[in-house]
Structure 1
């Protein structure tokens, strides 16, 4: 049985199944990336709902059979893709194309959409000065345009469904479900994104992953 006692987080959230990958997250756009990936790959895992500030992921079956701690959602996606040889192309050119779109989500879509969400849903909505909100709305529209053009004539961001789609789906879905930003951004005008989002949300693993770890009732 793997010994996870060296990880302080397991003392607060004990593992009922220490032989499984331990997933510590909240069902945020970043958290559900990992949940969706785990559901897609069918790896055995145990989810733990935790505060975002303490977000970590622990795998007792890491390299050479030793436990490994992996953090940052993009790094976790890459780790799981490498671990399972799933959802990332084998061909070098397509692999790096996929990674480029993962990093596009990490460096642009996530930060900008997240800031827009702050101004639309949380404390930022009460700010009298609306210029910061407009700045993030304008940049979100630009990024949606980049993604929409990429999806022209495509079902997925890179030829087949991959970690590029998994990284991005939760964030685009959050614009509608969490931030109520669809009208502000004119999201319905991005027909390629609408089709892609629909394909993604139709996947059973995505449907499950969007709600893992489950919030208290």
Structure 2
């Protein structure tokens, strides 16, 4: 059984959703990042960057246990382990990898900065909040244009969708209305109506 170390964050939810969609047995060990649990030696042994999520799979590629940190790496590992949600068609596979990297490099770090600056004293946050909200909305526009062409970002449903969904789930928190991005809204509603996705968001991570 896979051990998921996570907290109730967008990056944690990516993995609980993927595990549910892939029908892999797992259990959760909450890592309370509000209390600094991510810095404890036992967690650092499996996640040297002291960030959640991380997993330990007792049945690794060679039959021995393996730990994996970084949410994008975990999604790729799980996709390869199960043979699901990473298209075999090479063009679609490239698209899945492109959009997964797009999420990891932008649609996560930028909304995350919005979350940060929303908690800063208003007298000191104006520049940072404006900068990151503008970039976050630009990224929503990029995603909306892509989803005007395809049902899911790679064509078929893939780990890239799970990665992006983890952050789109927090759209209200980073002050984005999906009404302004109709194709994202359609995609978001389609994913959130999936039973496995719903289970992934109901898993207690904290």
* TM-score (norm: length of structure 1): 0.82
Q: Counterparts in 2 of 1:52-201, with a 5 A limit?
A: 52=33, 53=38, 54=43, 55=52, 56-120=54-118, 122=119, 124=120, 126-176=122-172, 179=173, 181-182=175-176, 186-201=177-192
Gaps (5+ residues) in structure 2? 44-51
| 2:114 and 2:174 in contact (8 A); partners too | no
Q: Which has the larger Rg?
A: 1
- Take 1:21 and 1:213, find their aligned partners in 2: how far apart are those partners? 16
Tell me the distance in 1 between the aligned counterparts of 2:185 and 2:5.
30
Superposition deviation, residue 136 in structure 1? 0.3
Deviates more, 1:67-76 or 1:201-210: 201-210
Give the structure 2 partner of residue 7 of structure 1: none
Shift of 1:205: 1.2
Following superposition, the deviation at residue 116 of structure 1 comes to: 0.6
1:44 equivalent to 2:40? Answer no
Separation in structure 1 between the aligned mates of residue 174 and residue 64 of structure 2, nearest angstrom: 43
Separation (CA, whole Å) in 2 of partners of 1:212 and 1:51:
15
Misfit runs of 4+, over 4 Å: none
Cross-structure match for 1:205:
196
Q: Distance in 2 between matches of 1:197 and 1:143?
A: 15
Distance in 1, matches of 2:5 and 2:159, equals: 19
Q: What TM-score does the superposition give when structure 2 sets the normalisation length?
A: 0.87
Aligned to 1:26: 7
Structure 1 stretches of 5 or more lacking a match?
1-19
* Structure 1: distance between partners of 2:142 and 2:62: 41
> By how many angstroms is 1:213 displaced?
3.4
